[in-house]
Structure 1
């Protein structure tokens, strides 16, 4: 095709390198909707405005569409309609041609590398442009492509060469945010190191400033923490393919989700060098990136740890990505040496329904409470905290620890507290956490006349201190897995009032189940809070029982044992 058509690539984002590797044609220039990129270059070719295409001769131009969760898809279609009879293609169109040439549903390495023959077989001018484009866009993990991907992974895993045990373990996360999954990953890292494993906790992005204490605690425990450098050029891909991978890995990588390619390469490059026995990933995007990278590099044991419920419940986090996640998970589950775990029964049910699995396909590994939580604070610390908050020992504090996000329903917390405060004006509320609902929360506080009664602390590094000065915890999530804050509150003897949501009940001592309320019933929440606050003797009786319950069922040693057992004995 070189010399007959000018090749122009639409999209200079993270997926560009993988698409360039899949479709290695000489590129005249890139176009992108991000004006900040105009005038710069990528892979030696300039980046220009999409309007530049108007000057091209349609039947002498081939436009290669790079997709990133299809966000720019409508704009691309509008411009293609304006250009008229132009040629356009995506790297995924190659799979459509392979569908026709390989009815047995398998892709072989020699097929993948036969670019010229495949491209020449594709008719990229279609009367129903929108429908055809959507079909191509959805091709990568649909139909026979998905079956080929599963077959490729299975063949590759089944032919892994044996490797001597090294005692090395890699734990993977997107970044060390102030969140429950991140705390559990740090707990697991400490526990594995204590059990004699050589542990690396790897992140795809640098942690925010508020999470620096995680890094300090990891390094204090002798755990190697590192940010994996990006691998973003076509040459990086070719180097990895040639240097580290068996030939069967090329087929696996070919079928991988395009938008995850750059991160997958950075993880694969590290794993190929480090040669761990196992990788344990937390949260959906790192699960898929880590599992595919570990598959490419022959890591024997791969554990993916799901969220409290499947990612379709978090549109503010994942928006257009959930369909890709679902298809990628279905490529990976039931493969040799790969496990998908849940941290609660409700979480296992959620993922099972979403992925078409049974609950027994997902081992349940409950969260744990850090040993460091039981270390008493320095003398005067709690008095200083009360002074900072403007409260005395006569003020009962109702504590909330959650993201200010829809699934945590923080407005329900404010409504319930307002009803409680009407009967107990000496009560104060403290909320630890941040999120996109903060403006609405502040407005609700003002609306209820609680500006001097509710304190928003934002993200708090040591929530144990705030728990110690509080009288009760109020938790209003619409769903939960094994919520860390509920475990930590009980470990320090703090009673809890919460909504029934499937996961919270599994984290509570039996003595607290009577204080669970139906979803949306803020009157009941307020009443249960009042009962506990009016009876200090009851709270004292509960304190030791709650702490004993947590010590017995939610230790770091149990988390380590169950995680290692799953990795070495995945479900059939």
Structure 2
């Protein structure tokens, strides 16, 4: 740690601060205590930039923090209107300036007024109106007293009569300033302002918005939810924001067989950079949003208006941002923003966009945030700076049709197809081949098991961007005759039925459906202690939780099961019971309808597809 930072933390200890933000000339970083008694600090993940804006003003962007403290060595904070406005408007009322003579503590509100007063008194005639305009803007955002101030200044100084001719150019510049494009965050907040619904609501209609219908856990959960809602008598439509790419494994055949209603946005709706006519509710934002984003919102808004739902349920980041904001612009009565994972890299890479969207959604009483695990809820609350329990927990569900019981002959034929010898033990997984699932670590764990147990074979089901890398890893470790890679799987139950142990090596998870499926099929599970994995099974009863994420630790957990057949037999009995009790359809749907604000209905529809078979 540098001496400059250590000196800073010494000042913080002297002030007795448990949480503060340090601002230098380039950035603002939040620090928190990890030992309140010893006042040991560490940086949090909440930070923001300090930079000069297009008009030459220093600005700082901080996450909201009521009655927050700021430490700085930059004297600009003592006389800057804009820096102090940024601090006060975000709740940072206590400013501590570190000088050679010691620490000066001031209120950012007091400094803001002082800087405004100095600007008014020292400005020229042409600059007075500009300063007054800044003052009025600040008062509008902070106190909502612009009219009172304007009336008072008009009576006292008779500004309009004194400067009418002399300040014509200044008035034109002020008019241009007021009519310049709004910031993205301001537009998003405007979209979520309370308004009358733009259509006649059909009370039993629910729109489920998902990124796509490609094969994956979140997409399958959307389909399961749709089936269950239809079974309860609700009118459901599923909307995919992205079309299925040619050659991509998808659920389209299963959706068609189940008779579910779907809509898919055309590819041009998400990539169109041309300016075209948009819905009436979005015309207000034509000059403020880029054409591609406006067209994206418009495509979702048109589907929503045509369907006229009482509830719009959005799954995962992009669907939450696009679907949720479009629904807000239409005044949809109930909007559910449902996350199914921990905070992902795509959110971090575009975090300002998603932060703007989530903060705007949070301003609306129509919006409920949800996650599928307690761990994910805490992760998102921390990332966004939300209060605890701002996210409701709506766990995953295992639909009755997901895992059927195949015949012994089917299983035997499948094992023969895989080249498995009678009596061979099988360790398997079903994953997307993406970095967060870490399939290469899975292969390394398989290699450690294979060294000690020549009777064990390994099966990997799934596809993704790392598939070629995984095949190379298998070849490098000389495991071509021990590991079978299935690619996209159309009937997961055969894999589970042929499996003795299901192993998951993920770097991060929300609450993985594959762990529920494997247990429902009677497979003991081994999984890394990340995200919501610990909430998906009973550690020591239906599986083993690996707290140190390494190939050796995963291998040891698998070998522990292989070496204890009595425990494995008990786990095969307990696992289906646990899944049925904790992730059954009725508790899940009752909780979902409670979040929707809709009644528990029991009207069954013929041909709802409840008895159909859903496959990964």
The two structures have a TM-score, normalised by structure 1, of: 0.69
Q: CA deviation at 1:483?
A: 0.6
Distance 1:517 1:122, change over 3 A: same
Match of 2:275 in 1: 234
Q: How far apart are 1:193 and its partner, in Å?
A: 0.5
TM-score of the superposed pair, with normalisation by structure 2: 0.65
Unaligned runs of 5+ in 1: 1-97, 108-116, 124-135
Aligned twin of 1:417:
446
- Could you tell me which of 246, 255, 275 is aligned with 1:218? 255
Cα pair 1:210 1:461 within 8 Å, conserved: no
Larger CA Rg, structure 1 vs 2: 2
1:283 and 1:264 map into 2 onto residues whose CA distance is: 16
User: C-alpha separation between the residues in 2 aligned to 1:263 and 1:99?
Assistant: 35
Q: How many residues align?
A: 433
Question: How far, CA to CA, are the matches of 1:439 and 1:394 in structure 2?
Answer: 30
Shift of 1:538: 2.6
| 1:13-24 equivalent positions in 2, closer than 5 A | none
Match of 1:540 among 569, 575, 584: 569
Aligned residue among 146, 159, 169 for 2:206: 169
* Alpha-carbon contact 1:477-1:501 (below 8 Å) kept: yes
Question: In the alignment, which residue of structure 1 is the partner of 2:418?
Answer: 389
Residue in structure 2 matching 1:499, options 528, 531, 541: 528
> CA separation in 1, counterparts of 2:287 and 2:392?
30
Q: 381, 390, 395: which one pairs with 1:352?
A: 381
Aligned to 1:286: 319
Q: List aligned pairs for 1:162-201, cutoff 5 A.
A: 163-201=200-238
Question: What residue in structure 2 maps to residue 32 of structure 1?
Answer: none
Is the partner of 1:170 in helix, strand or coil? strand
Unaligned runs of at least 5 residues, structure 2: 1-132, 145-171, 599-616
Deviations 1:476-521 (A, max 9, x none): 1122111100000011110011211141010002544772122333
State the partner residue of 2:486: 457
Q: Deviations over 1:352-392 (max 9, x none)?
A: 11111123110010001121134233663222221221113
- Are residues 469 and 119 of structure 1, via their aligned partners in 2, closer, same or farther at CA, if it must alter by over 3 Å? farther
Q: Deviations over 1:259-309 (max 9, x none)?
A: 532221101011112211111111100111111111122211111111311
Contact 1:192 1:199 in 2 (8 A): yes
Q: Say if 1:153 and 1:335, in contact at 8 Å, map to a contact too.
A: no
CA–CA distance in 1 between the matches of 2:136 and 2:466? 52
| Distance in 2 separating the partners of 1:395 and 1:296 | 58
1:307 aligns with 2:340: yes
Q: Pick the structure with more helix per residue.
A: 1
Show the 5 A alignment for 1:325-474.
325-377=354-406, 380-474=409-503
Q: Deviations over 1:324-357 (max 9, x none)?
A: 1122111111412111211111111111111111
* Alignment CA distance shift 1:228-1:502 (3 Å): closer
Whole-Å Cα distance in 2 between the matches of residues 296 and 120 of structure 1?
A: 27
Spell out, residue by residue over 1:103-152, the C-alpha distance to the aligned partner (whole angstroms, 9 max, x if none): 53599xxxxxxxxx7898469xxxxxxxxxxxx99x834xxx54x743x2
- Offset at 1:410? 1.6
Q: 1:287 aligns to what SS in structure 2?
A: helix
Taking a change above 3 Å as real, the CA distance of residues 512 and 271 of structure 1, as seen in their structure-2 partners, is: same
The CA deviation string for residues 248-267 of structure 1, in whole angstroms up to 9 with x for no partner, is x6556766676532221101
Task: Tell me the residue number matched to 1:560.
Answer: 589
Distance 2:193 2:348 in 1: 33
Which residue of structure 2 lines up, in the alignment, with residue 140 of structure 1? 183
C-alpha contact (below 8 Å) 2:526/2:544 kept by paired residues = yes
Give me the whole-angstrom Cα distance separating, in 2, the residues matched to 1:258 and 1:306.
27
Q: 1:156 aligns with which of 184, 190, 194?
A: 194
Change (3 A) 1:168 1:253: farther
Structure 1 vs Structure 2 CA RMSD: 3.1
Separation in 1, partners of 2:504, 2:518? 11
Contact 1:501 1:519 (C-alpha < 8 Å) held by counterparts? no
How far is 1:411 from its partner? 1.9
Aligned-residue offset at 1:102: 4.9
**8 A contact 1:341–1:364 mirrored in 2:** yes
In structure 2, the CA distance between the partners of 1:501 and 1:348, relative to structure 1 (3 Å rule), is same
Aligned-partner SS, 1:236: coil
Q: Cα distance, 1:235 vs. partner? A: 3.4
CA distance in 1, matches of 2:369, 2:414: 41
* Residues 1:502 and 1:274: Cα distance change in structure 2 (over 3 Å): closer
SS in 2 for 1:373: coil
CA distance 1:149–1:186, shift in 2 (3 Å): closer
CA distance in 2: counterparts of 1:424 and 1:398, whole angstroms: 11
Q: CA deviation at 1:220?
A: 3.4
User: Following the alignment from structure 2 to structure 1, what is the Cα–Cα distance between the partners of residues 492 and 526?
Assistant: 18
Cα 1:186–1:99, aligned 2, differ >3 Å: closer, same or farther?
farther
Going from structure 1 to structure 2, the CA distance change for 1:192 and 1:412 (only over 3 Å counts) comes to same
